[in-house]
């Protein structure tokens, strides 16, 4: 995923509740989209329960589906969606969604932006940096200050609008509707609702 080599991680700082919720949602999406959930994570998912908002109902749905999903079934589903034989059902990369091809200009723009922020790819990760999980992880880190220093709302807005706003909602719509999606169908719904909220929030602040 992403790292900030050579810089100590900033000490934990208290975040406003709304900002912590944003970081938690980005972190949840990053974890579930980077690898299938193991037993401990499935157990945590089973305890999820949201409010009566569209996002909250999607969170509740994820908890209910997780309650009847085994570790083995989650791994099989993840593999069908994202790995497959040759390729999975979905290609969760910004370049693909924006240009129809992998490793195109959006990836180069992202790498330049990451370098400017002092964020580098972890050495043992071989996925291109425009993978949706990496982008969600970076957004979580920008909110919490996990990359060595706190980042401003302007930094967060610039990163989101440049690298997620134009395509992430479409990806999450595809994830919800994918033939193989069971556990990942409510993940797709969570992503759609959260991206919509983020887009509207940044638009209001403009």
Full set of structural domains in the chain with CATH: 2-205 (1.10.3480.10)
Residue of 97, 104, 99 lying closest to 128 (CA atoms) = 104
Q: Where are the beta strands (DSSP E) in the chain?
A: 2-3, 120-121
| pLDDT for the residue 169 | 98
| pLDDT for the residue 7 | 31
Reported as a pLDDT band with limits 50, 70 and 90, residue 1 is low
Q: What is the pLDDT of residues 58-87, one digit of tens each?
A: 999 999 999 999 999 999 999 999 998 789
Q: DSSP assignment, residue 167?
A: T
| pLDDT for the residue 8 | 31
CB 148 within 8 A of CB 7: yes
CB 154 within 8 A of CB 145: no
Give the max Cα distance, the chain: 45
Reported as a pLDDT band with limits 50, 70 and 90, residue 150 is confident
Mean pLDDT is lowest, of 1-5, 12-16, 76-80, for 1-5
Q: DSSP assignment, residue 178?
A: -
CB 184 within 8 A of CB 61: no
First vs last Cα of the chain: how many Å apart? 30
| pLDDT for the residue 6 | 32
Mean pLDDT rounded to a whole number for the chain: 92
Neighbours of 120 (CB within 10 A): 16
Tokens of 75: 């791994």
From residue 143, alpha-carbon distances to 19, 23, 76, 176, 185 in Å are 7, 6, 32, 26, 26
């Amino acid at each position: 995923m992403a790292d900030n080599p050579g810089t100590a991680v900033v000490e934990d700082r208290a975040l406003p509740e709304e900002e912590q919720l944003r970081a938690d949602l980005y972190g949840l999406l990053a974890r579930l989209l980077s690898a299938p959930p193991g037993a401990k994570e499935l157990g945590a998912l089973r305890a999820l329960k949201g409010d009566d908002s569209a996002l909250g109902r999607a969170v509740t749905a994820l908890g209910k589906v997780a309650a009847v999903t085994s570790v083995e079934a989650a791994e099989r589903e993840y593999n069908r969606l994202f790995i497959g034989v040759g390729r999975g059902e979905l290609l969760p990369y910004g370049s693909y969604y924006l240009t129809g091809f992998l490793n195109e200009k959006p990836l180069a723009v992202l790498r330049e932006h990451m370098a400017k922020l002092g964020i580098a790819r972890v050495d043992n990760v071989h996925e291109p940096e425009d993978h949706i999980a990496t982008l969600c992880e970076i957004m979580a880190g920008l909110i919490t200050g996990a990359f060595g220093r706190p980042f401003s709302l302007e930094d967060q807005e610039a990163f989101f609008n440049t690298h997620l706003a134009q395509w992430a909602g479409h990806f999450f719509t595809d994830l919800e509707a994918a033939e193989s999606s069971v556990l990942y169908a409510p993940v797709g719904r969570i992503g759609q609702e959260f991206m919509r909220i983020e887009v509207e929030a940044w638009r209001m602040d403009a």
